C-alpha cells in the first residue's frame, strides 16, 4: 500500500502591507483537494485515478477529491502531478492544457502559492457506457 511520506505543511507568505500576525501553513492534502476539484471541473475529464483505498471509500459513499493528485514542495517550488482519464472524443492536448491552467489558477487564488510545474498524466480514455434499457 502506498504511504504518504510528506507530512510537512506549506508555509504561505504574509499578505503585503499587513502586519505580521504569524505563519499560515497549508497541509499538502488541502492542495491535493483544491487541485482535484479544479481538475474534475474541466470539460472532457472523466475522473482522476485513485488507489484501491480511495476506490473502496468511494464505494461507501465518501467523496475523495484528492485522489490521483500528488503535490511536492522543493527548493525550486511547488510541483503538482495529476493522473486523470479523459472522455472519448475530447482533444487530449486541449483538455490537458485546460487542467494545467485551472489547477494553477485555483491554487494561486485560494492559497497565494505559485506552482512551478503542473504535470498532467493521461492514464486512460473513458468511453460512454451504453444505457441499459428495461423492457417490461
**What grid cell was written down for 3?**
504511504
- CATH for 25-126 is 3.30.70.1350
pLDDT at position 54 over 70: no
Cell numbers at residue 78, please?
Answer: 511547488
Cell numbers representing residue 59 in the block = 464505494
Q: What is the mean pLDDT of residues 65-80?
A: 86
Structural element, H or E, at residue 13: none
CA-CA distance, 94 to 48, in Å (whole number)? 17
Q: What pLDDT, on a 0 to 100 scale, did the predictor assign at position 97?
A: 97
CA distances from 66 to 31, 61, 116 (A): 8, 15, 19
Instruction: Fill in the DSSP letter of residue 61.
Output: T
Look at residue 3 and tell me whether its pLDDT is greater than 50.
no
Q: pLDDT at residue 55 above 50?
A: no
Question: Hey, is 27 helix, strand or coil?
Answer: coil
Query: Angle 28-40/92-111 helices, nearest 10 degrees?
Result: 140
pTM tops 0.95: no
Beta bridge pairs of residue 81: 70, 119
**Are the C-beta atoms of residues 4 and 10 closer than 8 Å to each other?**
no
| Mean pLDDT within 21-32 | 86
Amino acid at each position: 500500500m502506498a504511504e504518504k511520506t510528506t507530512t510537512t505543511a506549506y508555509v504561505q507568505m504574509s499578505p503585503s502591507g499587513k502586519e505580521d500576525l504569524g505563519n499560515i501553513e497549508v497541509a499538502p492534502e488541502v492542495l491535493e483537494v483544491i487541485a482535484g476539484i479544479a481538475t474534475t471541473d474541466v470539460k472532457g475529464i472523466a475522473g482522476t485515478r485513485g488507489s484501491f483505498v480511495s476506490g473502496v471509500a468511494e464505494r461507501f459513499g465518501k467523496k475523495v477529491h484528492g485522489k490521483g493528485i500528488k503535490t511536492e514542495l522543493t527548493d525550486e517550488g511547488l510541483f503538482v502531478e495529476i493522473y486523470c482519464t479523459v472522455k472519448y472524443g475530447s482533444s487530449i492536448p486541449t483538455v490537458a492544457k485546460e487542467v494545467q491552467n485551472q489547477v494553477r489558477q485555483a491554487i494561486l487564488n485560494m492559497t497565494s502559492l505559485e506552482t512551478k510545474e503542473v504535470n498532467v498524466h493521461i492514464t486512460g480514455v473513458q468511453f460512454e457506457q451504453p444505457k441499459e434499457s428495461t423492457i417490461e
